[in-house]
């Protein structure tokens, strides 16, 4: 068995959960079968397992509007994915950036197609801010790829339901395989000196956010919640990679306003490496994940593995990761329509986030109990080795049915 993974993100260029997923899945699959990865970038590994081939992006001749560049760049690289001969038994797609490559592979090479749904475009309408009319194209592209795939992997039960709701796919083709984590990498490992380098006082308690500056991650709602937090602890925002200049400016203004009420705000404006994340998680009293749409939420597993309790939105796959009252708290969004972005009651949500954070910050015994329960849950349910075995079994079923 040989699998070809097509992806935007792959080390060293990883900025989101999908990239983390492909990094660890490819590593574990390589223990079970031959793996090749084709990705965006300049990566090149021509020997061993997995093989890795990055594809560059020449946009020197682009005169299209800037929001469309990433769309056309994705298509350009997906074409390059296919001009290199494909000899895999299965092509496995990750995020819309790779979908055109999978469509070409199935049509031109006859290779069975497996697609993992890390998120769904119809549920991310704010992407229009970033892509303009390109958003309509990504919606169409994702729909086309999902509906022609031989198997679709949903990373949670909630995502499974969304796939069946928004796409014309037989239920027997949609399989639930959770995301995972490496608990040897993500484990309690405080590093006070590392925190100081980022401006965090390791001798003073803090609550933590780690993620991109995007509508989906709900970072603005968290910043708005700061006004309701108790005094006496730091708020550490490890937040970079803004989707657009507009949301970057909105974030800047929101933080400035929050500092008028709460002076202990540390904003780390970059995506930090693994060791820095582990240090931040390990010393944090509470981790906050205020996403308004989240098919799974690997970031919560990372915090839980470091024995940090989580306050998260009660949305999507996060309800299958965080056990309310046991490993942290889930905060409802008070949704009234199908769109999680438009239905949000921001003031109520911000207040409810702050209430749960304050409750945990006032109770050390509760924090310690939930932190230990979180790591136990990670060890029991979210192993990458088991996920790789489930994925390989699905490859075998797909190839057998095509034979």
> Quick one: pLDDT at residue 343?
45
Beta bridge partners of 52: 37, 45
**All domains in the chain, ordered by first residue:** 2-180+383-402 (3.40.50.2000), 192-381 (3.40.50.2000)
5 closest CA partner among 57, 48, 56, 51: 51
- The answer to whether 382 and 179 have CB atoms below 8 angstroms apart is yes
Residues 6+ apart with CB under 8 A from 311: 286, 287, 288, 289, 328, 329, 331, 353, 356, 357, 360
Paired tokens of 398: 């797909």
> What local confidence, expressed as pLDDT, does residue 338 receive?
52
What pairs with residue 93 in β-bridges? 6, 115
- According to the model, what pLDDT value does residue 334 have? 65
> What does residue 174 show for φ and ψ, rounded to 5 degrees?
-105, 120
DSSP string for residues in 139-177: HHHHHHHHHH-SEEEESSHHHHHHHHHHS---GGGEEE-
Measured between alpha carbons, how far is residue 123 from residues 7, 17, 139, 271 in Å? 21, 17, 10, 25
Report mean pLDDT in 10-residue bins for the chain, 403 residues: 97 89 96 98 97 94 94 97 98 97 98 96 86 94 98 94 96 95 93 95 96 87 92 94 86 91 91 92 97 89 97 92 97 63 69 96 98 95 91 97 74
Q: Are 195 and 280 in contact (CB under 8 A)?
A: yes
The encoded tokens of residue 360 equal 């945990």
Instruction: Provide the pLDDT for residue 337.
Output: 47
Residue 370 confidence (pLDDT): 98
Distance from C-alpha of 396 to C-alpha of 382, rounded to nearest angstrom: 22
What is d(CA 175, CA 18) in angstroms, rounded to the nearest whole number? Answer: 17
Half-sphere exposure (Cβ direction) of 255: Cα atoms closer than 13 Å: 19
User: Which single residue is written with the structure tokens 């469309």?
Assistant: 68
Residue 237 Rama label (left phi>0; alpha psi -120 to 50; beta): beta
Burial of 190 (0-12, 13-18, 19+ CB in 10 A): middle
Rounded CA separation 264/232 (Å):
8
- Return the pLDDT at 339: 52
Among 123, 136, 162, 183, CA closest to 384: 183
CA distances to 67, 174, 389 from 236, rounded to whole Å, are 31, 39, 37
Residue 401 has a pLDDT of: 84
How high is the pLDDT of residue 336?
43
């Amino acid at each position: 068995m040989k699998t070809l993974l097509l992806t935007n993100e792959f080390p060293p260029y990883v900025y989101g959960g999908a990239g983390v997923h492909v990094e660890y899945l490819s590593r574990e699959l390589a223990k079970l079968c031959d793996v090749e990865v084709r990705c965006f970038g300049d990566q090149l590994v021509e020997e061993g397992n997995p093989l890795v081939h990055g594809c560059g992006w020449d946009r020197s001749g682009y005169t299209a509007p800037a929001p469309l560049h990433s769309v056309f760049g994705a298509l350009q690289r997906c074409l390059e994915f296919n001009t290199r001969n494909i000899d895999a038994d299965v092509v496995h797609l990750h995020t819309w950036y790779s979908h055109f490559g999978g469509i070409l592979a199935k049509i031109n090479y006859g290779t069975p197609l497996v697609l993992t749904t890390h998120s769904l475009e119809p549920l991310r309408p704010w992407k229009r801010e970033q892509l303009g009319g390109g958003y309509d194209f990504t919606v169409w592209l994702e729909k086309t790829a999902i509906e022609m795939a031989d198997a679709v992997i949903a990373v949670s039960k909630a995502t499974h339901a969304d796939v069946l709701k928004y796409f014309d796919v037989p239920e027997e083709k949609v399989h639930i395989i959770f995301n995972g984590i490496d608990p040897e990498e993500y484990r309690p490992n405080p590093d006070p000196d590392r925190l100081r380098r980022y401006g965090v006082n390791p001798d003073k308690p803090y609550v933590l956010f780690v993620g991109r500056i995007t509508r989906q991650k709900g970072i603005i709602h968290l910043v708005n919640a700061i006004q309701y937090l108790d005094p006496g602890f730091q708020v550490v925002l490890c937040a970079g990679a803004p989707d657009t200049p507009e949301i970057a400016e909105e974030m800047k203004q929101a933080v400035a306003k929050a500092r008028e009420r709460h002076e202990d705000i540390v904003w780390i404006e970059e995506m930090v490496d693994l060791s820095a994340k582990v240090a931040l998680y390990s010393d944090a009293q509470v981790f906050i994940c205020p996403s308004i749409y989240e098919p799974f939420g690997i970031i919560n597993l990372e915090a839980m593995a470091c024995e940090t309790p989580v306050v998260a939105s009660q949305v999507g796959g996060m309800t299958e990761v965080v056990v309310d009252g046991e490993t942290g708290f889930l905060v409802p969004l008070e949704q009234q329509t199908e769109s999680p972005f438009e239905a949000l009651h921001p003031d109520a949500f911000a207040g409810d986030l702050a209430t749960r954070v304050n409750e945990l910050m006032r109770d050390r015994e509760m924090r310690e109990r939930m932190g230990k329960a979180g790591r136990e849950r990670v060890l029991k349910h979210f192993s990458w080795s088991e996920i790789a075995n489930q994925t390989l079994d699905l490859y075998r079923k797909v190839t057998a049915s095509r034979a």
